[in-house]
Structure 1
């Protein structure tokens, strides 16, 4: 039973590392971090892009609502990591009745390819379209949380395929962080923390030939803290 005129919605910033804009003329572009958005068809702010989500039902808790709405509204079911972020409670954040928003961070593996509705698409986090209400700052906050957790947890497992070469893992970290990461240093740090396990398999050699790269997997497929004091920083920063 509802006890007030205040509404409560759940909004999810779903991230995936993707290739945007590959064409015959510009193949092989570096992957980027993408966020899933749907385009509003009706006012207010028709034509702008919103995070997926919607009204919290009276009989459900927040995380269940987030998973339900991703499955029902944008057909995203393979969410490898989901965590609650912030609450947006400005009384004037949206027109009409006061609506409080609980935001979530969701991560989808690079290998997942959900069948999206026509009004839904992936957009590069570095080049967001015109967004609805306060949804842009929600994306910025979610990206900041992801970047921070990449430093001191194994959360990259939720963005990676089941097994991968170190160069592929480096590309995932570069895309998610927004700056370049050295592959050798990345392997050394993650190996020291016990994050990576060799699978015994190898990937095909590249065009230049050479030794086939070894394949790895994440040791754990659940979130854990690996170094609570660690901080990955862009090149040139102390």
Structure 2
């Protein structure tokens, strides 16, 4: 059997809940850059690149985000899994370590011209197996929203429950009830009140209370929990 050199690369699926136009509900988006050269010129890739000899995986992921897409701060970054199909890319074999990165709602990092946010529900033509990597990372995010406090990395520092409902609904892919969400996250001590309210809108009315996440680092809140689609009650 012919020997092939093996390259270890890092790929980062960076997600953010974003609004893509007036009147449109926020959607979960992923950061992609468009390839200008072959192989697969014109397709869209996840930020990433080759692991250098003098760096660990996390350091490489941060470097790739800064170099490839000029994103230097993410609210959460963690390694998820390995993609090792011998034929996942042409040429020398590449094993990819996949990372999940999260950017808070309303944050608007400046991006290079070849880089853009894309709704996960309607991805453009993805390079190599990057569409599969995005899907895998999104599924892991959905699971983590059930049993951890990872929502802190998608939410602004302070928020009304209606905003948090939009964030969870976009990330999960189905409508979430704000009252039920508040009850569940409150009982798990994931969120807390700030004692402040948001300014009233043009329509007036009672200003909504503002909340925040109790912690800004990942914590398992209920390892057996699972957020459920509509018509099913969220577990306490």
Corresponding residue for residue 12 of structure 2: 12
Corresponding residue for residue 100 of structure 2: 105
Q: Distance in 1 between matches of 2:143 and 2:106?
A: 23
What is the TM-score with the length of structure 1 in the denominator? 0.94
Structure 2: unaligned runs, 5 residues or longer: none
Query: Would the aligned equivalents of 1:50 and 1:135 in 2 still touch at CA under 8 Å?
Result: yes
Q: Distance in 2 between matches of 1:210 and 1:237?
A: 31
Structure 1 residue 28 displacement after superposition: 2.9
Runs (4 or more) in structure 1 with deviation over 6 Å come to none
Structure 1 residue 5 displacement after superposition: 1.8
Corresponding residue for residue 73 of structure 1: 68
Query: Would the aligned equivalents of 1:78 and 1:112 in 2 still touch at CA under 8 Å?
Result: no
Matched, 1:59 2:54: yes
Match of 1:166 among 161, 166, 169: 161
Matched residues, number = 230
Q: 5 Å matches for 1:100-139? A: 100-139=95-134
Structure 1 residue 237 displacement after superposition: 5.2
Deviations 1:177-224 (A, max 9, x none): 110000000000011011111111111123332110000110001110
What is the TM-score with the length of structure 2 in the denominator? 0.95
Match of 2:36 among 35, 41, 45: 41
Structure 1 residue 76 displacement after superposition: 0.7
Structure 1: unaligned runs, 5 residues or longer: none
Q: Distance in 1 between matches of 2:5 and 2:145?
A: 39
Matched, 1:175 2:170: yes
Deviations 1:110-141 (A, max 9, x none): 13211111110000000000001100010000
Corresponding residue for residue 215 of structure 2: 220
Query: Would the aligned equivalents of 2:74 and 2:103 in 1 still touch at CA under 8 Å?
Result: yes
Deviations 1:37-84 (A, max 9, x none): 000111111000000000100111101100111012211112111111
Q: Distance in 2 between matches of 1:113 and 1:226?
A: 29
